[in-house]
Amino acid sequence: MKKVGIIGGSGFIGSYITKTFLDQNFQVKVSSTDISKKEKYAHLSNLMHSDKLQISELNVTDKALLKDFVSDCDIVIHGGTPFQLDFKDAKNELFDPTIKGTENFLEVIAETPKVKKVVLIASVAAWNTNFPLPAGGKTPKDTYNENDTPFKSKESHPYAQAKFMANQTVNTFIKNHPDLDFEITSVSPVAVFGKSMSQREDSTSTGLQYLIKNKLAPNPFVQMLFDTNAEFAIVDVKDVAKSIYKSATTSGLHGKNYLLTSQTYSVSDISLMLNNQESKNAPKVIYQNQLAVNDLGITFQMVKKTLNRYSN
């Protein structure tokens, strides 16, 4: 029986990943930054096959803990970098955990012979740090796919910049290590929406859905979304989990980075659908998902279904 280690496996996306691997009869090891805070991961014990679940304490900036966490894993999913819009110290809260954590992770994995597949959960910010606004030189009607030149701006949110640089770290590592005996695949979701599996209140994704639904703007970034009626490309959290599972269990995907995305709606239309009303405008397809459809066999859900499930 294979074992998968899921860094960040009790969060909003991570919980669905954990469930997917448990459903497929894997032994699953999930990290927690503080194992004493059982409320962070207690909901996982309610999953089917939770007898195959192990919770281990981990700080991604600690190489010794990382080495111990991955030592007995065949597959490792790294989704443990912080997604937060509010911060006091960008370096300590966003850049260091995201970039240094990725560097440490890759160094440790390269020294762990049992690991044969790694999936890194990147972000649409790996392609465009301005998301949900257009990249420099693009208009709101221009489309994006994996062949586009990644765009980074120093004016973008520090979280997006950190994810961009972490992805560049992965690309450089792959380029500098052409003879690895394990595969690295990345996935880059757009805005991940859907219903949370837990009652945790620290999820930025579910929090953003709440704010848009109730038209609340607690910080300048969210206010900007309302002021510009920004258009969000959205993907269902269940589809992200399925894509990660397929990336982890399909060989021949080394070095690829998949955009995970469905349809695009404006904030005003998203708010309507989160309140079980019809959108005023038809959806657009700005970010392309054809590579994930072809390689991973994913059928991405309509956004309306995703938002209704959260709302209900």
CATH number for position 34: 3.40.50.720
User: Which of 155, 154, 159, 40 shows the shortest CA–CA distance to 98?
Assistant: 159
pLDDT in tens, 208-225: 999 999 999 998 889 999
Number of domains in the chain: 1
Please count the residues of the chain. 312
State residue 231's pLDDT score: 93
Q: Is residue 73 part of a domain?
A: yes
Domain around 188: 3-193+235-261+285-300
Q: Is residue 56 part of a domain?
A: yes
pLDDT of 96 strictly over 80: no
Q: Is residue 58 part of a domain?
A: yes
pLDDT in tens, 130-142: 999 899 889 888 9
Q: Is residue 91 part of a domain?
A: yes
Q: Give the global pTM.
A: 0.94
State residue 202's pLDDT score: 66
Mean pLDDT of all residues in 28-54:
93
Mean pLDDT of all residues in 6-16:
94
Q: Is residue 222 part of a domain?
A: no
pLDDT in tens, 170-187: 999 999 999 999 999 999
Contacts of 58 (CB under 8 A, 6+ apart): 7, 31, 32, 33, 65, 66, 69, 80
Q: Is residue 30 part of a domain?
A: yes
pLDDT in tens, 146-171: 999 999 999 888 888 888 999 999 99
Q: Is residue 47 part of a domain?
A: yes
Q: Is residue 248 part of a domain?
A: yes
